[in-house]
Structure 1
Amino acid sequence: MTSIQLRQGAPGAQILGIGGYRPRRRVTNAELETVMDTNDEWIRTRVGIAERRWASEDESLVEMAVAAGGKAMASSGLAADQVDMVVLSSASLRVPIPGIGPQVAHRLGIPRPGAFDLNAGCAGFCYALAVANDAIRSGSAHNALVLGVERLTDVIDMTDRSTAVIFADGAGAVVLGASDEPGIGPVAWGSDGDQYSAIEIAAGRSTMSMAGQAVYRWATTRLTATLVEAMEKAGVGPADIDVFAPHQANLRIIESMTKKLGFRDDVVVAKDVMQAGNTSAASVPLALTALLESGEAKSGDLALVLGYGAGLTFAGQVIRLP
């Protein structure tokens, strides 16, 4: 019987480049006070957001993804024809077919890559990162572009303060390359499907609903174990972590997780949510980009990342910053 041959992959993958795109329009809490029953103190107290970015008509999902992906590719030093896989994560695609991954790849000049979209809600980027990492390790790809992009303003009710004050738009991307030294740890992921309706766009509706208190309780009581698991799988502990960059959903959730994990006093904690709002699948790469651009984080730092959201899905990894 003829045997099926398998390709030999690399020992690991590293992040070679990173980039982000933030829409031009800044929306402050004061502006929201004029259109809904809310105020700056209420928003800051509950979610820690001071402002967020909302995309204009010309800032489409494709345009934002191309902008972020182009920056990541430029910082990686790779040419477009060296990238052979594109994974795009988004929970706000308005057209189900076709996906936009192949279109973004084409716009970036990447010739005929394996390209597809992935929807795991706000955990999407970390899911996509795990998929691309495993593809490189298995030999299915050598270099990959991973993107998270959202226009959540397309799917929120602007009169619903439980969602409209939180969600925002933007795009983030990283380029992965095969490496002898692993720069991305094993993923710790899963789902709690019994709470699938906690964040949803119900059948027949066009806008999102969210059971905020239920999601808050779930995130603050169930996900610390996932972060510990991600560190254990990577063979590191809290004292080894230089940067903590969880999904930027709520400042109170970030503070709760940070307190429970027992990091060093000098650990850098991403708090991009304060200026960017919740950008779902784009939040982790955007937060990391901000920390690197500001100098708060530096190349070579060991970062613990976590995505979580609709599904309810979650995924965490330890990564080496580019």
Structure 2
Amino acid sequence: MDESPGSRQAVVNANRRPPSAGARVAGLGAYRPARVVDNEEAAAAASVDAQWIEQRVGVRERRYAEVADTVVSMAAEAGRAALKDAGADANQVDTVILATCSMPSPMPNGAAQVAAALSCPAAGFDLNAACSGFNHGLAVADALVRAGTSGGVLVVAAERMTDWVAPQDRDTGPIFADGAAAALVLPSSEPGIFPVAWGSDGTKAGLIAIPAATGRMEIQGRKVFRWAANALTPVVDAACDLARINPRDLKAFVPHQANLRIIDAQAQHLDAPAIARDITGSGNTCAASVPLALDALRRSGEITSGDPVLLFGFGAGLTYAAQIVLCP
């Protein structure tokens, strides 16, 4: 069989679809690497005290990718789990969005490889909004489905942050980790994903960066803490206003898992019965942290199908995005 370039016909998803009244998260999936690294191990590498790590950021243990756990392979496993959770077939997915900032090289993109791994006849593109990447991807998926451009969108957030931090750097090494999570977005007769409140502040881009000269993440932790803990409250309020949902009616608050003290400071503004604190066992997985935390809350039974949940991502760029979704 001729497998030379150009021997296969391109698959084009050009079916005409009517606009949809809404979009919903139909299924969730997660992939957590098998290797668990406790604070004793992380502290030894960074020459700090194990208790200091937990007191400073709230992490007790985190997952590190094995050699075979690539950004693409972890994304594909999470996507496969999301399809199974939704009872959906790969043929229902015509767009794959991969939210990531840790691909090993800029080309080829990861989303097309994820689509191929799942046998989805899909368009695929990567989206880099760092730690708010999943929220951005979900907003794009919602718009694509409601416009009739896509009939099914798989939004996957996958990160292998351990490739980009130095274990001996006390500001990043003990904090960042690896993992992936995914959401399948399908049309709905009523909105299940509400309008996004988002923005960016490029004047503060230098607070979190990976300089080309070093290839390692650098973060000005105290400045980021003040920004995230104090300056982002209006984003949360705007997301509730756009959804026309009273904050008191929220069943859960799922913020980016950057720092337990930031999470607790942000949560004081809300009265949600469940607050995601997945950072304690997962570390900071950047774009993957919000969907991993959402999946963990659902698995624990703290939220159930139909519950309104506020998702909130923020990070390098600086970028931020928040939206309310109904739990699948």
Range into which the TM-score falls when normalised by the shorter chain: over 0.9
For 2:175 and 2:256, locate their aligned partners in 1 and report how far apart those are by CA, in whole Å.
13
1:299 matches 2:309: no
TM alignment of 1:5-16, pairs within 5 A: 8-16=18-26
Judge conservation of contact 2:17–2:151 (CA < 8 Å) in 1: no
For 2:307 and 2:290, locate their aligned partners in 1 and report how far apart those are by CA, in whole Å.
15
1:309 alignment partner AA: G
Which residue in 1 is equivalent to 2:281? 275
Q: What per-residue deviation string (whole Å, max 9, x for no partner) do you get for residues 2-36 of structure 1? A: xxxx9641011000000100011111111123222
For 2:132 and 2:297, locate their aligned partners in 1 and report how far apart those are by CA, in whole Å.
20
Q: What per-residue deviation string (whole Å, max 9, x for no partner) do you get for residues 122-159 of structure 1? A: 01000000001001111110111000000000000111
TM alignment of 1:102-121, pairs within 5 A: 102-111=112-121, 113-121=122-130
Which deviates the most, 33-42 or 166-175? 33-42
For 1:291 and 1:96, locate their aligned partners in 2 and report how far apart those are by CA, in whole Å.
33
Which residue in 1 is equivalent to 2:187? 178
Which residue in 2 is equivalent to 1:129? 138
Judge conservation of contact 1:120–1:311 (CA < 8 Å) in 2: yes
1:74 matches 2:84: yes
* Gapped regions of structure 2 (runs ≥ 5): 1-15
1:225 matches 2:231: no
Q: What per-residue deviation string (whole Å, max 9, x for no partner) do you get for residues 214-270 of structure 1? A: 110000111111011000000011111001100011110110011123x15xx1110
Which deviates the most, 24-33 or 308-317? 24-33
- How many aligned positions are there? 313
TM alignment of 1:199-210, pairs within 5 A: 199-210=208-219
Which residue in 1 is equivalent to 2:51? 41
Judge conservation of contact 1:18–1:175 (CA < 8 Å) in 2: yes
For 1:74 and 1:204, locate their aligned partners in 2 and report how far apart those are by CA, in whole Å.
42
Q: Secondary structure, in 3 states, of the residue corresponding to 2:74?
A: helix
For 1:115 and 1:194, locate their aligned partners in 2 and report how far apart those are by CA, in whole Å.
30
Judge conservation of contact 1:32–1:39 (CA < 8 Å) in 2: no
* Gapped regions of structure 1 (runs ≥ 5): 1-5
Q: Secondary structure, in 3 states, of the residue corresponding to 1:115?
A: strand
Q: Secondary structure, in 3 states, of the residue corresponding to 2:46?
A: coil
2:274 alignment partner AA: V
Q: What per-residue deviation string (whole Å, max 9, x for no partner) do you get for residues 140-189 of structure 1? A: 10111000000000000111010011100000000010011100010000
For 1:64 and 1:229, locate their aligned partners in 2 and report how far apart those are by CA, in whole Å.
33
1:196 matches 2:205: yes
2:108 alignment partner AA: P
For 1:34 and 1:310, locate their aligned partners in 2 and report how far apart those are by CA, in whole Å.
27
Which residue in 2 is equivalent to 1:313? 319
For 2:286 and 2:170, locate their aligned partners in 1 and report how far apart those are by CA, in whole Å.
17
Give the TM-score normalised by the residue count of structure 1: 0.95
Q: Secondary structure, in 3 states, of the residue corresponding to 1:35?
A: helix
Which residue in 1 is equivalent to 2:95? 85
For 1:81 and 1:8, locate their aligned partners in 2 and report how far apart those are by CA, in whole Å.
18
For 1:32 and 1:197, locate their aligned partners in 2 and report how far apart those are by CA, in whole Å.
26
1:216 matches 2:225: yes
1:286 alignment partner AA: L
For 1:175 and 1:54, locate their aligned partners in 2 and report how far apart those are by CA, in whole Å.
25
TM alignment of 1:254-265, pairs within 5 A: 254-261=263-270, 263-264=271-272
Which residue in 2 is equivalent to 1:26? 36
Q: Secondary structure, in 3 states, of the residue corresponding to 2:172?
A: helix
